[in-house]
Amino acid sequence: QILDSWKEIAAYLGRAVRTVQTWERSEGLPVHRHQHRKAGTVYAYPGEIDTWRKERAGLANGVADLAGRRRRKVHAAIAAATAVALAAGSWLLYRAAGADRESEPADTILETRGWLMIGGFDNRTEIPHLGDTLAAALRRELANSSHLKVAPKERIGDVLQLMGRPSDSAVDAELAREVAVRDGGIRAVLGGRVDGLGSSYVLSIHVLNAADGVTLASLSAEAGEQESILPAVTKLSRELRQTLGEALAEADPAERLSRVTTPSLRALELYSRADRLLLEETLGGPAQNEAAEQLLREAIAKDPEFASSYTHLAWALRRQSRPESEYLPFARTATELMGKATAVERCFIRGSLYTLKSEISGRRSDLEAALTQYQALLQLDPGHAWASRNAAGALQELDRGSEVLELLRGLVEARPHDVATLARAARELVVATGNLDRARSLIERIRRIEELQPPEARSRDGFVELFPVHAAWVRGDLDGALGELDRVAASLDRLPAPERRSLATTAQQHYLDLGMFEKADALQRKYSAPDRTFWEWRLAWRRGDGEHLRESMLRRYREGNLFQTVRVAYILGQFGFLTEAGELLARLPPDFDLEMALVTAARGFVHLAGGRPREAISHLEAALPMLRHDVNLGSYFYTARSLSRAWEALGQPERGIAVLEEAARQKPSALLVGHWWMELRLQLAELYRSTGRVERAGAIEDDLRRHCAHADSDFPILRELERRGARATV
């Protein structure tokens, strides 16, 4: 008997279709897919399901830890894949279409499943670096498959580091299988070889099951000359996709061979080096952008029709703050030449052009078009580092920060051993959902990864290191928060300079939230974290020193930067400098429609200060939901306070109280902006008192005094609490 659809499988188990689909993804329910048919055509064997059900029943009374769950999923997936290969001829890396995936909660981070790793190419020619270049070319080609998921090279580097090897170690066939097994989620390994036969070249590739080394596929192709090597890679990648079960549309053979990223091996090598430099720009600074620019100009000289090189050159110039007249033409040229590029490359080329245009125009439509391209790209290549960064930035600029977490789920799946990716996901969980338990589970996963690394290789991420401070503050354990904070501050001298400065900056922000200005300033003086100008602005903001803040903000403002114009106008409006805020808002182009949450909120501030509470409410209510998911939650708390004042001005204090009560519940999300949460609570206490709820007001103020247990005497919230206490005594 065969259960030949999701409905039959669900009926056999006595569950809903969505439930059994979830079990397949998360608990290894043995479901197979038909060869050469759409991903939704599934079948299953009752005997396999019965065996799975018995094994699952043994786990019903206990919850295994994260590592145990992942091992079970890996073993179940490998077993299911083997059954598919033996019984149905399907391939273990077949990926379900999006229609088969149930929509899961936004704060659930998916485990990894079904990845293919591209190992090294054995270069038996006299052409230098040919093996690495061919591996990169094959990775770029296979990334366009809807059938395969190619592990990013960064993921391979993550595992190598866990094995005590440099992340850029050469990976031969033996090491590749070891990496795949250690990874736990990479199911198969692709290796290759290139031989020189006179003036010709023979390329061969093979795919091995990572678990047992059994060959799943083996192919070869011949290139009659050096210029034919990369077209041969394109041909091989297409044949491999078909061999492994992907149905590809027929195309003219000549067209298939001509559709190659670049025929120049040297151009591809130069481009790949520049790509690494740009991705690591934060480590090397501006010099890496300049070096990347030179490499990309060389690549274009070798192949003037290499579309992706033009896009990367545009980014390299943009990062050097060059004028748009220098970088935008290169981005446009890339779109004109992208007919020979792969699908992934075309998505990134178009997305980049729209992103760069949006920075100039400030139009929402440009950034939405860019986001569409990045999302399509990530469906093909979930680990694409450029696309994930740009997509996350676009979502924030479009006031769609709530969707960033969904984006990070794909990144965690693509790089499950990367501390930076896991830390970013954990931080977003806190900011977007306030779910400290889920964030803690990711941080524990980071700790387990770091235990496998030598001390010098560990990355001291500021959020991860200081998460216990935030967690203790949320619980109201101020002594515990300060103890953790002092412990981290005392360890800074033992760290390398870049990590020390970054961690000192985060620690400094926590001290400011505790009202400890002197300790925060001591960190700034000792480690210059951040630079003095930025520090003075931040300190003025936390102290409520409006005049100093005004001077600092206007000094930092640069004409022509639309996004900075919005942020400066918002902050000035927040502190009551309405003339300056209004002037800056008036400088925005009429069709500027990005950062609308901040623009709308700033206009709400102006209306409220001008005695127009109804107009203020219209703007502030529109802005508040979007700001809830902004990384800068200080904007959310202050906008909520202004909206409450507007309702109070209309004689409806109860509606103002409701706004503040809802915002106050977001305390777990108030990462590094706890003082804004405290000021909001001060305002709520005042409203309670004015409406006769004196006892509730007093309870809030007593709680805030506990939060100020270690604050300096000039902490504005502590001064206000003392003033209220003196007033109550009188």
Q: Decide the pairing of beta strands 215-223 and 186-197.
A: unpaired
What would you measure as the largest C-alpha separation in the chain, in angstroms?
100
| Backbone φ, ψ for residue 196 (5° rounding) | -100, 125
Q: What are the distances in angstroms from CA 229 to CA 223, 255, 262?
A: 5, 16, 10
Q: What is the pLDDT of residue 369?
A: 93
> 702-726: per-residue pLDDT in tens?
999 999 999 999 899 999 999 888 7
- 3-state DSSP assignment of residue 324: helix
Long-range contacts of 384-392 (CB under 8 A, 24+ apart): 384/143, 384/152, 384/344, 384/348, 385/152, 385/154, 385/279, 386/279, 386/348, 387/347, 387/348, 387/351, 390/351, 390/352, 390/355
User: In sequence order, which residues have a C-beta less than 8 Å from that of residue 96 and are 6 or more positions away?
Assistant: 33, 39, 40
Q: Could you tell me which residues are beta bridge partners of residue 124?
A: 195
Q: How many CB atoms lie within 10 A of CB 641?
A: 22
Q: How many Å apart are CA 511 and CA 530, to the nearest integer? A: 14
pLDDT value at residue 247: 62
- What is residue 3's three-state secondary structure? strand
Q: Show the tokens assigned to 284.
A: 């090397």
Return the exposure string of 534-550: e unless at least 16 CB atoms fall within 10 Å of the residue's CB, then b.
ebbbbbbbbbbbeeebb
pLDDT digits (tens, 9 = 90+) for 260-301: 478 788 888 889 888 888 876 544 456 788 999 999 999 999
Calpha distance 120→175 (Å, rounded): 9
Question: CA 66, CA 442: separation in Å to the nearest integer?
Answer: 10
Three-state SS string over 637-697 comes to HHHHHHHHHHHHHCCCHHHHHHHHHHHHCCHHHCCCCHHHHHHHHHHHHHHHHHCCCHHHH
What is residue 530's predicted lDDT score, i.e. its pLDDT? 65
User: For position 411, what pLDDT does the model report?
Assistant: 81
pLDDT at residue number 421: 86
Residue 453 DSSP code = S
| Alpha-helix residue ranges (DSSP H) falling in 398-531 | 404-414, 419-433, 436-451, 462-475, 478-490, 497-513, 517-527
Give the distance from CA 126 to its chain's centroid: 41
**Residue 560 confidence (pLDDT):** 61
Helix (H) or strand (E) holding 217: strand 215-223
* Encoded amino acid at 463, one letter: F
Contact 707/474 with Cβ under 8 angstroms? no
Residue 728 is predicted with a pLDDT of 61
The per-residue DSSP string of 247-287 comes to: ------HHHHHH--S-S-HHHHHHHHHHHHHHHTHHHHTHH
User: Rounded to 5 degrees, what are φ and ψ at 683?
Assistant: -65, -40
CA nearest to 275, candidates 329, 344, 187: 344
Task: Specify the pairing of strand 186-197 against strand 115-124.
Answer: parallel
Q: Within 10 A of 139 (CB to CB), how many other CB atoms are there?
A: 20
Q: Pick the closest to residue 352 from 406, 278, 298 (CA basis).
A: 278
Residue 203 in tokens: 């390329």
Rounded Cα distance between 385 and 153, Å, is 10
Is this prediction's pTM over 0.85?
no
Beta-ladder partners of 42: 33
- Alpha-carbon gap, residue 73 to 76, rounded angstroms: 5
Question: pLDDT of 645-703, one tens digit each?
Answer: 999 999 999 999 999 999 999 999 999 889 999 999 999 999 999 999 999 999 999 99
pLDDT at 472: 96
The tokens of 16 are what?
């809903």
Query: Six-digit token pair at 331?
Result: 């981005």
3-state SS string for 332-353: HHHHHHHHHCCHHHHHHHHHHH
Task: Please tell me the predicted confidence (pLDDT) of residue 643.
Answer: 96
The residue count of the chain comes to 730
**Which residues of the chain fall below pLDDT 70?**
1, 25-26, 34-40, 54-114, 247-260, 280-286, 455-459, 529-531, 533, 556-560, 594, 630-633, 727-730
Spatial neighbors of 571 by CB under 8 A, at least 6 apart, are: 541, 549, 553
Amino acid identity for residue 375 in this structure: Q
Distance CA 702, CA 708 (A): 10
Residue 346's contacts (CB-CB under 8 Å, 6 or more residues apart) are 338
